[in-house]
A and B are shown apart, each in its own frame.
Chain A
Amino acid sequence: KAGVTQTPRYLIKTRGQQVTLSCSPISGHRSVSWYQQTPGQGLQFLFEYFSETQRNKGNFPGRFSGRQFSNSRSEMNVSTLELGDSALYLCASRDRGSSYNEQFFGPGTRLTVL
C-alpha cells in the first residue's frame, strides 16, 4: 500500500494570509490526525477526524480548522497566519481509529510565515 502523502511539501506565506494543507491517508484508513511540530515543542495535537467527523481537538485557536472527505482525505486550514504558525505540519492515519492502532505519519508540510 502507498504511504501517507501530504501536499504541498513546502509553503511560504505572509502574515494575514490563509493556507490549506492536504493529507491523503493509507488506503482503508479512516482516521486522520494533524500535528504541529516546532523545534523543542514536540508533537502538538491539532485534531483528529474519523469517518468525516472531528473526534478530538487540541488546544489551538479557532484559526486552525480541518475537514475530512468521504474518501478519508483530509484538509487543514489556517486563517490569518501569524509568524508563530511557522512549523512542520504532520498528518497521521490509522486503521479503524482504535487507540491501539499504529499511526502512520506523512512526510509533513513545512510552512514558513514571513
Chain B
Amino acid sequence: GENVEQHPSTLSVQEGDSAVIKCTYSDSASNYFPWYKQELGKRPQLIIDIRSNVGEKKDQRIAVTLNKTAKHFSLHITETQPEDSAVYFCAASSNYQLIWGAGTKLIIKP
C-alpha cells in the first residue's frame, strides 16, 4: 500500500531562517499533497496543498514543491517566526484516502 515518509522528525532553526521539511511517497497514482500544521494542544489545520499537475505553489512565507518523477514533495517556510513552532504533517492521497507522514516538530529558536 501507499507509504509516506517524512523527514526530519525534529527541526530546530533560528528565528528568521528558513525551514524545509521533505516527504516521499510510494504510490505513483497519488495526485494531491496537503500539508497540515498542528500547534500544541490544537487540532491540525491545512496550511497549503498542491495537486500533481503543479510543480510549485506559494502562499506568503510558505511554499510547497512537488517532484513527481522522484515522488517527493517539500514544505518551505521562509523568515520563520515564533508562531511557526508546531508539528507539521504531510500527506498524499491514494484512492480517496489521505496517507500521512509521521510529522515534523519545528522549533523556532529566538
**1/0 per residue B20-33: CB within 8 Å of A?**
00000000000110
Number of A-B contacts (CB under 8 A): 50
Cβ contact of B98, chosen from A41, A45, A90, A106, cutoff 8 A: A45
Contacts of A103 in B (CB 8 A): 34, 36, 46, 98
Q: Does the CB pair B49–A102 fall under 8 Å?
A: yes
Partner of A105, one of B44, B49, B51, B95: B44
Q: B43, A106: Cβ atoms under 8 Å?
A: yes
Whether B43 contacts A99 by the Cβ 8 Å rule is: no
In the assembled complex, the Cα of A45 lies from the Cα of B93 at a distance in Å of 12
A residues near B97, Cβ cutoff 8 Å: 45, 48, 55-56
Cβ-defined contact, A42 with B89, below 8 A: yes
Q: Is the CB of B103 within 8 A of A99?
A: no
Once bound together, how far apart are the Cα atoms of A99 and B34, in whole Å? 10
Alpha-carbon distance between A102 and B98 when the two chains are bound, in angstroms = 11
- Find chain A residues with CB under 8 A from B46 CB: 102-103
User: Is B62 in the interface zone, CB < 8 Å from A?
Assistant: no
Contact with A along B26-63 (1 / 0, CB 8 A): 00000110101000000111100101000000000000
- A-contacting residues, B64-85, CB 8 Å: none
Contact B89 A99 (CB under 8 A): no
- Ranked nearest first, the 4 interchain pairs of A and B with the lowest CB-CB distance are A99-B93, A105-B43, A42-B102, A56-B97
